[in-house]
Structure 1
Amino acid sequence: MKPVSETPPQRTFTMTHWGVYELESAGGRLLDVRPWRGDPAPSPIGRSLLAVDHPRRVRAPRVSRGWLDAREGRRRARRGSTEFVEMPWHEVLDRVASELDRVRQTWGNTAIYAGSYGWASAGRFHHAQSQMHRFMNTLGGYTRSVNNYSFAAADVIVPHVLGCSYRSLQDEAPDLAEVARHTALVLTFGGIPLKNAQIEPGGQGRHLVRDLLRTAHRQGCRFVNVSPLRDDVAAELEAEWLPLRPNTDTALMLGLAHTLYVEKRYDRAFVQTYTTGFERFSRYLPGTDDGQPKDAAWAAALTGVPAARIRALARELVAARSLINVSWSVQRADHGEQPYWMAITLAAMIGQIGLPGGGFAFGYGAVGSIGNGVPRVRMPSLPGLRNPVDSYIPVARISDMLLNPGSRFAYNGRNLVYPDIRLVYWVGGNPFHHHQDLNRLLEAWQRPETIIVHEPFMTATAQHADIVLPATTPLERNDLGGASQDNVLVAMRRAIPPVGQARDDYAIFSDLAQRLGVHEAFTEGRSEMDWLRYLYARLRVTHDDLPEFDVFWTQGIHEFAATSSAHPPCRLLRAFREQPLEHPLATPSGRIEIGSDVIELYGYADCPGHPVWLEPGEWLGGAEAVHHPLHLLSNQPATRLHSQWEHGVTSQQDKINGLEALQINPGDARARGVRDGDVVLVRNARGRCLAGARVTDALMPGVVILPTGAPFEPAAPGVPGSLELRGNPNVLTRDHGTSQLAQGPSAQTCLVEVERYDPAADPR
């Protein structure tokens, strides 16, 4: 074999969730990563791919010593505290197959919880979630999860109010080019953070949101940023910043609605024609039933936004074409359904829903596709097969499930029972990143008999597993890259051979399927390349501008023509406005449900039948603020996707003394003797973690921000309550459903205290 220096470099493309990159490799090593030249605003995260062969790589199958001890009748150590033993593939696969068969035969398929969060790869075939679900369904099914950690509350409330799925509603967002032409004012709750717009599930060829927003600003669109963080809207947009106490967005919207109502500025004709239930809401708004008008003064006391500004802003919203945007982050809080429901209600009172550039949008800046105007392409995916097991949980209720088997819980009008889970199989995700109250999860994680994980890197989830199977990264396999919210297809040819003994998920599941007698059902006799050709052929049926597969595979990238059969964003609300009788919404009334009889009948005190202000379990206006006077927000990091490539260069360069950076207002820092760059202790009753202080006046007083995604590294592995050493905010966040309706995560409802860290005074 030639030395690396003499080996001609190989150039390939890859698609990631944060963009398309050209890779240069030689001699089995990745040498360089460059953004695709067609991307006007590429993400720097691509440079982190160079850490593919990192010391954290899982290079061989590993089995926990504690799990082996338990199988031999000895006392088992707590998960997370035990060492691992490397095993050859054939032996560990025999053990996995045997354990799957034992649990199925003894407890039934309901006792298997198959978790995956779908972000592992932008590839259409090597999509970890699809691979795992297909495999489990060939075995007779599994307990699954519904909704997600990103917008679970919105996912459940939107169909009740508008009669469509939340995902389809994202396509209802007016294109930002349309906003530039028509919109005078964008009122955005939670901002439009460009750091989030660099991401798109499945990838994106071109990052367009930044330039589209610039164009809107140049053409006279004004932005008002309602957020604790000024930087949630780019400085170049010159947005007005209205600092708002976290979790009080609904109260501000109610104050705006009250002004429109009492001053008779709301669009009565629109409300009467296109909505139902306003009569109930109009009793709540002035306080007819409870004696408390939801006026600007009331809203000011809760939110911190001056009453005069609230009244003036309400008048501005109806004076010209306006649009209300709500970020995903706003609904990841106690009663997170309410701000989305209230935003729709406020937009209905303004009366511009369905007009060009008017009404509401959910998620500008949450991902790159929302409002970018790119024609959508229906990308094929690996068929998942049917799950014969009708057992599921809302995804954020995993600790509840493991800790309380057999207990009943409410979800979206149904009374469900938590199954008794004996085996957890996790592929393509890291619950010790995205779940809340990790000390509680750590205790819950001890309950199953077996936990199996596929992982390229030794994440916290892998560290707390019993069996860890080394998986390839997208750089080590062949795939098709492309998102249904984009118009670029990438030939993801393998750039380097698998690191160590890593195998792709399909190869692992194929070997397990062989042992369990379902090989033909799982593979259908197809190899990796056979599946890629099959998926590509399905795509060519509806896109006649695609070349033959071999041509595409050689050229590397295909951009779909604007005149191809790509489906345009739907215009459901526009058609409804123009012809409400011919194009009714799929709600019980056929209209926008400001009041929902269905939700009212559920009888949930934490989510009644119309939008309301409900005091959060923790907030700066509550009693707990006496003991923990800072509101912690845990947002998406700018330097990685969730916890992916946390060890990469872009993520590591943003650390402070190797710790995740905590943003804190100068006044709050001064009061605690904290200076920029100090190591600080962040604590509450749920946990403690270290972080590096980043003092900034872009953050309102009383609020701190610690991004998600740092490793979960407790000082005492496996011991709940131990000091977390890397800056993982989820040792602090609250594991409580948004309400009985959605049971979504409420991570943004969290109070803490911060102090300068003194190692000598810490017993850990």
Structure 2
Amino acid sequence: PDELASSDLVILWGINALATNIHQLHAVREAKKKGAQVWLVDTYETPTASLADRVFVVRPGSDGALALGIMHILLRENLVDRNFLSASVQGFDELKSRILPGMTPEKVCSLTGVGIQDLEFMAGAFGKARAPFIRVGAGLSRYGNGGMNVRCIICLPALVGAWQKKGGGAFVGTSTAGAFPMAEITREDFLARETRIVNMNQLGHALNHLDHPRIQSLYVYHSNPASITPDQNQVLKGLAREDLFTVVHERFLTDTARYADIVLPSTSSLEHSDLYRAYGTYCIQQAGPAIPPVGQSKSNWEVFSLLAAAMGFSEPFFRQSAEDLIRHILSIPVALRRGIDEKAFGEGKAVEIVLPEGYKTRFKTPSGKVEILNPAESHPLPCYLPPHGGKEPYRLMTAPSIFALNSSFREREDLRKQDKAMFLQMNPGDARDKGLQDGERVLAFNELGEVSFILRVTPKVPAGVVIAAGVWWLEHCPGRRSVNALTSQRLTDMGRGSTLYDNTVDVRKEG
């Protein structure tokens, strides 16, 4: 990802990098110093707009249409790299004949809200850039059509041959899991029989309606579902069941911990040995404890080992210390660790994985090419799909806060003071139509629930959209409900993920 410093056009698409991708901003700034243009494509003018030369605001869930519209113009203006398409792309001809003719600028602009002049400018600049780079935000996938949106955007670098140029391409995330033999950690071979898997994005439904058998116990670690899970009212109803035995392994008394029958104190990363892998860089690290565990706190590994012993599991695996397991894992040769700085790694420093020459054009697909056409998908070609939407008049965007990480760090009073209050941001015209004033208490509501906010009227938000930044703990919410009381359990088109950005609300004055 640091290669983007060599790009001449950096597009931050659906990512509020100042809140969620701070570690990559150095490369963005380096690219700017070298003369690169930086664009922000998002549903409103986020704080990241301060880094951008151009800001393009799109309707929520319409990003796939925008990408297809850019492709239409690239083809029309002959700005595609035909040599790269011929040698390294499968399915472009089908995309060209079946999909792109229908994605005219007029249609795309009606779907996205982007003006025709802006659309033409985007396509022209992208097609003429030496090495365009797209940083794709995770939020783009959190719509009913999220998988298709990302699929469309990822096609763009292939059309102009950006993958073969230093600084060009696209980036969603890295996976350094391959640096460690994960099968030695997950030990799926211990699973004696298949067990039921519950989608955490539908926890509310599972706790209240799943039966044969009903869920009777819940063990929570590395999560705060009472705050972060969609359809909060259903989740809290399920957590409140008298017949549900809940154990929470935590460092803080979170919303979920308050529903626990037993709270087990957890160590922080400073108190135990561990291996670390990245999803935004190609770095790995091992580290030991900086301080001993505080009080009775124990790591995940310690608790799971103790539970295994109490439940009668006899496998030697569970009798290892964390340090023993780490030594075993690192004793197994893995290609992805070949060439790393072993001395620095052994000293507990973060080290970068050495990527092979030409890795960007070694596509891990059956054909070895960029596969625009995928017959295995329900939609074999990238196309426009509408988001779920809803019947209420305003699209609700559950944006990240720059002072928290989802619900993490909400125990910090100093950071909460930086956020000031739980705001709902609204366009001035929409506020005027509703007779609402900046700073007054309002209720956002839909069929799932209602949440109290302080209204912030700002032209940075387009008409028809409202923004609720950050996930607040219930004890700090004015109405004892956070924004996830308004988000649904509907799933995405690919991967069965959450649709946290694909909800609608109405707004009224409180009281």
Whether the TM-score (by the shorter chain) exceeds 0.5 is yes
1:223 aligns with 2:12: no
Tell me if structure 2 keeps the 8 A contact 1:682–1:691.
yes
Q: How far is 1:700 from its partner?
A: 2.5
Structure 1 unaligned spans of 5+: 1-172, 199-206, 288-292, 364-368, 407-417, 553-557, 577-584, 601-607, 715-722, 759-764
Higher RCO, 1 or 2 (CA under 8 Å, sep at least 6)? 1
Q: Secondary structure at the match of 1:458?
A: coil
Distance 1:424 1:539, change over 3 A: same
- Aligned partner of 1:737 in structure 2 is 491
1:697 aligns with 2:456: no
The reply to whether residue 630 of structure 1 matches residue 388 of structure 2 is no
1:385 aligns with 2:187: yes
For 2:78 and 2:358, the matched residues in 1 are separated by: 28
Residues 635 and 705 of structure 1 are in contact (CA less than 8 Å); yes or no, is this contact kept in structure 2? yes
> Which runs of 5 or more structure 2 residues have no equivalent in the other structure?
none
Match for 1:470: what amino acid? L
Question: Partner of 1:310: helix, strand, or coil?
Answer: helix
Q: What is the alpha-carbon distance in structure 2 between the residues aligned to residue 570 and residue 706 of structure 1?
A: 42
Summarize the Cα distance change of 1:701–1:469 in structure 2 as closer, same or farther, 3 Å threshold: same
Considering only aligned residues, what root-mean-square deviation do their CA atoms show, in Å? Answer: 3.4
Superimposed CA distance per residue, residues 648-699 of structure 1 (whole angstroms, 9 cap, x where no aligned partner)? 134321344xx42333333333444444443321111111111223333333
Partner of 2:484, secondary structure, is: helix
Could you say if the C-alpha distance between residues 702 and 495 of structure 1 is closer, same or farther in structure 2, counting changes exceeding 3 Å? farther
- 1:423 corresponds to: 217
**2:384 is the alignment partner of 1:613:** yes
| Structure 1 residues 726 and 214: alpha-carbon distance in aligned structure 2, compared to 1, 3 A threshold | farther
**Residue 20 of structure 2 corresponds to residue 196 of structure 1:** yes
Residues 577-626 of structure 1: CA deviation (Å, up to 9, x unaligned): xxxxxxxx4434332221211114xxxxxxx221111222216xxxx2xx
- Deviation at residue 376 of structure 1 after TM alignment: 11
* Cα deviation 1:239-294 (Å, max 9, x = unaligned): 2011111111011111111112233332333323222233332233355xxxxx21
Partner of 1:348: 158
Deviation at 1:451, TM superposition (A): 3.0
Which whole-Å CA distance do the structure 2 matches of 1:271 and 1:447 have between them?
60
* Aligned positions, number: 495
Length-normalised TM-score, structure 1: 0.58
- Tell me the secondary structure at the aligned position of residue 343 of structure 2: coil
**Which aligned pairs between 1:398-477 and structure 2 lie closer than 5 A?**
398-402=203-207, 405=210, 421-445=215-239, 446=241, 449-465=244-260, 467-474=261-268, 477=271
- In the other structure, the counterpart of 1:301 is 110
- Pair 1:272–1:700, CA change in 2 (3 A): same
Report the residue type matching 1:516 in the other structure: M
Q: Output the CA distance in 2 between the equivalents of 1:491 and 1:215.
A: 33
Please point out which of 346, 356, 374 is paired with 1:596.
374
The SS at the match of 2:4 is: helix
SS of alignment partner, residue 377 of structure 2: helix
Give the aligned partner of residue 493 of structure 1: 290
Aligned partners of 2:32, 2:419: CA distance in 1, in Å? 33
Asked which structure has the greater CA Rg, the reply is 1
Listed as ranges, the matches of 1:260-339 within 5 Å are 260-287=74-101, 293-321=102-130, 322-339=132-149
Given that residues 664 and 699 in structure 1 are in contact (C-alpha distance below 8 angstroms), is that contact kept between their aligned partners in structure 2? yes
Once the two structures are superposed, what CA deviation does each residue of 1:520-578 show, in whole Å capped at 9, x if it has no partner?
Answer: 64642x4xxx5336526865997641598xxx6xxxxx435x7xxx52245665343xx
> What is the aligned-residue identity percentage?
24
Quick one: which amino acid aligns to residue 11 of structure 2? Answer: L
Counterpart of 1:180? 5
Q: Counterpart of 1:424 in 2: which secondary structure?
A: strand
Q: Is residue 285–residue 345 contact of structure 2 (8 Å, CA) maintained in 1?
A: no
2:220 maps to amino acid: W
Counting only pairs closer than 5 Å after superposition, residues 640-655 of structure 1 correspond to structure 2 as 640-655=404-419
What are the superposed Cα offsets for residues 429-484 of structure 1, whole Å, 9 maximum, x if unpaired?
1112222111233455549743332233332222334x222313417844347445
Residue type matched to 2:266 in 1? T
Residue 364 of structure 2 is aligned to residue 574 of structure 1:
no
Change (3 A) 1:452 1:689: same
Deviation readout 1:162-195 (Å, 9 max, x if unpaired): xxxxxxxxxxx4x2xx3333x2222332145122
> Does the 8 A contact of 2:19 with 2:401 survive in 1?
yes
CA contact (8 A) 1:244 1:303 kept: yes
- 2:150 alignment partner, SS class: helix
Q: Is the 8 A contact 1:296 1:308 kept in 2?
A: no
Please give the secondary structure, in 1, of the residue aligned with 2:405: coil
Work out whether residues 296 and 307 of structure 1, in 8 Å CA contact, stay in contact via their aligned partners in 2.
yes
Letter in 1 for 2:252: F
TM-score by length of 2: 0.85
Q: Which amino acid is the alignment partner of residue 535 of structure 1?
A: I
Deviation at 1:421, TM superposition (A): 3.6
- Give the deviation of 1:314 after TM superposition: 1.0
Supply the AA of the counterpart residue of 2:163. Answer: I
Any conservation in 2 of the 1:380–1:535 contact (CA below 8 Å)?
no
Residue identity in the other structure for 1:231:
T
CA-CA distance at 1:332 after TM superposition: 0.7
Alpha-carbon contact 1:258-1:285 (below 8 Å) kept = no
- For residues 572 and 707 of structure 1, what CA distance do their matches in structure 2 show? 40
Aligned 8 A contact 2:252 2:411 in 1: no
Task: Kindly provide the amino acid, as one letter, of the partner of residue 756 in structure 1.
Answer: K
Determine if contact 1:708/1:730 at 8 Å carries over to the other structure: no
